[in-house]
Copies of this chain bind each other. A is one copy, B any other.
Amino acid sequence: MADRLTPRAREIVTAARDLLEESGAARLTMRTLADRLGIKAPSLYKHFPDKQAVEVELVAQLLTETAETLEAAEARAPGSLEALAGAYRDHALAHPHLYRLATERPLPRAELPAGLEDRAALPLLRACAGDMDLARAVWAFAHGMVVLEIHGRFPADAELDAAWKRGLTALQR
């Protein structure tokens, strides 16, 4: 997962990640990113062809971490949809800007490490015993909950734990 990037490029992605998580996508600009690294914006283009290429690495980070998170949850509680959903939710809400960046545009599939998308999906598919329709429904539910939560679309006093539980037990079987 590592050597698709030179060391310097990896430093840039790290700075980009920090910047994104601190200040959101709107403030992740080539100039502020360069500033943080003590260089000028055009120098970034020695390491990445364009801004999108940097963002692709961040998307890959989210996918990788999601896969790891789900695999860990699966190891802890095999076959449990609640465990998967809880892990997914916690990771997403811990990194809302990253989640939005990775989620609010079409996936740059061609530029992503091969197999990564599938790897992130596998634990859920296993928990659904191979029922793809169910897996997609659960995924949509979880993604919907997370993104509505991130955007503050639910009333402030909404009992979201209850809504998660309600949805998951219903989808359970």
Is the CB–CB distance between A152 and B106 below 8 Å? yes
Main secondary structure of the interface of A (DSSP, over half): helix
* Min CB–CB distance A136 → chain B (angstroms): 4
* Min CB–CB distance A56 → chain B (angstroms): 15
* Min CB–CB distance A102 → chain B (angstroms): 11
- The interface bits of chain A over 132-157 (1 if a CB of B lies within 8 angstroms of the residue's CB, else 0) are 11101101111111011001111000
Copies of this protein chain in the complex: 2
The answer for the CA separation of A48 and B139 in the assembled complex, in Å, is: 40
**B-binding residues in A (CB < 8 A):** 100, 103-107, 131-134, 136-137, 139-145, 147-148, 151-154, 158-160, 162-167, 170-173
Is the CB–CB distance between A140 and B137 below 8 Å? no
Is the CB–CB distance between B133 and A144 below 8 Å? no
The answer for the CA separation of A137 and B149 in the assembled complex, in Å, is: 12
* Min CB–CB distance A54 → chain B (angstroms): 18
Is the CB–CB distance between A140 and B145 below 8 Å? yes
Query: CB within 8 A of A144: which of B134, B140, B152, B163?
Result: B140
The answer for the CA separation of A142 and B153 in the assembled complex, in Å, is: 14
The answer for the CA separation of A151 and B106 in the assembled complex, in Å, is: 5
The answer for the CA separation of A105 and B103 in the assembled complex, in Å, is: 12
